[in-house]
């Protein structure tokens, strides 16, 4: 079936009643995957959709979808999967999949490469900040036209923690559902135990502060399964697991709302260093502690400078031949123009 065939079939299912004469609602959700370049985002998506494909590098913004039925003989719900490639180099593309039309059913999955801790905080900070700013712009516009929707979205995120949770007034939930995945755990597991502890505690704090779920994964099917559980909850409304693993010597698995600041503990640094640090927010304090151990790469270093036109996976013979021809014409034009300027005479006055 083509995409249009599937879309038409889904519309027909929505309009047809079930056995009880009631109209069956088909749910649609959208999930945006972003994060570290070569962090394994495409692999995670393919595993969630149970597709046996060889993952290819994502150059810009790619789209795919999955369909699941909640019960036998029921119409299938649809999940739209978007993926931004290039690490932090294509932040402006975030505004394409996230719109006022789908904001109520949108979620974000942030994939961070645990094997590159010096890039971790910068990647996380820039992507989450860009996403948050864009979502807030959407909510500000909706506030004027449909304030009930904004209230619903904010209430849903506030409910990521139970009202009787001791940290209820101490966190700042992300404006839409968020899952943070630490990938390449197999490499991370070989790190020094103290390094693993700092990275793990920091990601636990960030996830808890934003009301997000956290899971560490690798190419291991057992670990990928845990990531799938959280993603299927976002994409298809499946029940969320209530199991928790906070042992820093093992892969972390912490669904949103099931951690606490008392369990996480203070930032891992000495009392003398702690006293010298000045921070206006808890998040800024954890950032300073983390970057003291793992000095960050600059934002410019993380930007992808590869020319998309030279990527072999997008080669098209006719287009490439025409492009080469136009490049030659441009170079010839530049030479002729330069020669013409040199030949022109100007009065000294």
In a domain, 5, yes or no: no
In a domain, 226, yes or no: yes
Tokens 């010839």 sit at which residue? 332
In a domain, 6, yes or no: no
Whether residue 44 contacts residue 24, with contact meaning beta carbons closer than 8 Å, is answered with: no
What CATH number is attached to the domain comprising 268? 3.40.50.300
Q: Is 144 helix (H, G, I), strand (E, B) or coil?
A: helix
Exposed / middle / buried, residue 222 (Cβ in 10 Å: 0-12, 13-18, 19+):
exposed
Provide the number of structural domains found in the chain: 1
Q: Is the per-residue pLDDT at 24 higher than 60?
A: no
In a domain, 135, yes or no: yes
In a domain, 332, yes or no: no
Q: For residue 113, what are the domain limits?
A: 26-293
Q: Is 104 helix (H, G, I), strand (E, B) or coil?
A: helix
Of 184-193, 267-276, 330-339, minimum mean pLDDT range: 267-276
Return the structure tokens found at 307.
Answer: 């020319």
**Model pLDDT for residues 130-158, shown as the tens digit of each residue:** 999 999 999 999 999 989 989 988 888 88
Q: What is the pTM of this model?
A: 0.79
- Distance from C-alpha of 234 to C-alpha of 238, rounded to nearest angstrom: 8
Neighbouring CB atoms inside 10 A of 292's CB total: 13
In a domain, 4, yes or no: no
pLDDT (0 to 100) of residue 30? 94
Of 240-249, 291-300, 302-311, minimum mean pLDDT range: 302-311
**Model pLDDT for residues 93-106, shown as the tens digit of each residue:** 999 999 999 999 99
Q: Is the per-residue pLDDT at 213 higher than 60?
A: yes
The arithmetic mean of pLDDT across residues 188-194, rounded, is 93
Q: Is the per-residue pLDDT at 26 higher than 50?
A: yes
In a domain, 343, yes or no: no
pLDDT (0 to 100) of residue 349? 47
In a domain, 131, yes or no: yes
Sequence length of the chain is: 349
* Banded pLDDT at 192 (limits 50, 70, 90): very high
Share of the chain above pLDDT 90, in %: 45
């Amino acid at each position: 079936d083509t995409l249009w065939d599937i879309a038409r079939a889904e519309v027909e299912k929505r309009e047809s009643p079930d056995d009880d004469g009631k109209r069956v609602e088909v749910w649609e959700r959208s999930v945006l995957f972003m994060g570290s370049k070569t962090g394994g985002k495409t692999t995670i998506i393919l595993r969630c959709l149970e597709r046996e494909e060889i993952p290819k590098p994502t150059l810009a913004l790619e789209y795919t979808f999955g369909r699941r039925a909640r019960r036998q003989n029921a119409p299938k719900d649809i999940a739209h999967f978007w993926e931004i490639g290039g690490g932090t180099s294509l932040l402006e593309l975030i505004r394409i999949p996230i719109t006022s039309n789908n904001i109520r059913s949108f979620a974000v999955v942030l994939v961070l490469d645990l094997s590159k801790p010096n890039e971790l905080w910068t990647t996380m900070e820039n992507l989450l900040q860009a996403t948050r700013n864009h979502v807030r712009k959407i909510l500000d516009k909706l506030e004027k036209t449909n304030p009930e929707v904004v209230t619903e979205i904010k209430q849903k995120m506030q409910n990521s923690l139970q009202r009787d949770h001791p940290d209820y007034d101490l966190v700042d939930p992300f404006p839409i559902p968020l899952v943070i995945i630490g990938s390449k755990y197999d490499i991370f597991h070989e790190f020094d135990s103290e390094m693993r502890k700092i990275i793990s505690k920091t990601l636990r704090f960030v996830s808890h502060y934003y009301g997000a779920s956290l899971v560490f994964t690798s190419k291991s099917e057992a670990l990928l399964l845990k990531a799938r559980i959280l993603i299927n909850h976002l994409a298809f409304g499946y029940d969320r697991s209530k199991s928790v693993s906070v042992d820093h010597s093992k892969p972390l698995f912490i669904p949103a709302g099931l951690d606490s600041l008392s369990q996480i503990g203070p930032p891992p640094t000495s009392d003398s260093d702690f006293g010298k640090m000045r921070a206006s927010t808890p998040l800024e304090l954890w950032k300073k502690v983390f970057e003291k151990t793992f000095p960050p790469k600059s934002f410019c270093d993380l930007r992808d400078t590869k020319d998309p036109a030279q990527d072999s996976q997008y080669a098209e013979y006719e287009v490439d031949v025409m492009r080469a021809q136009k490049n030659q014409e441009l170079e010839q034009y530049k030479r002729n123009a330069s020669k013409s300027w040199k030949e022109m005479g100007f009065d000294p006055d």
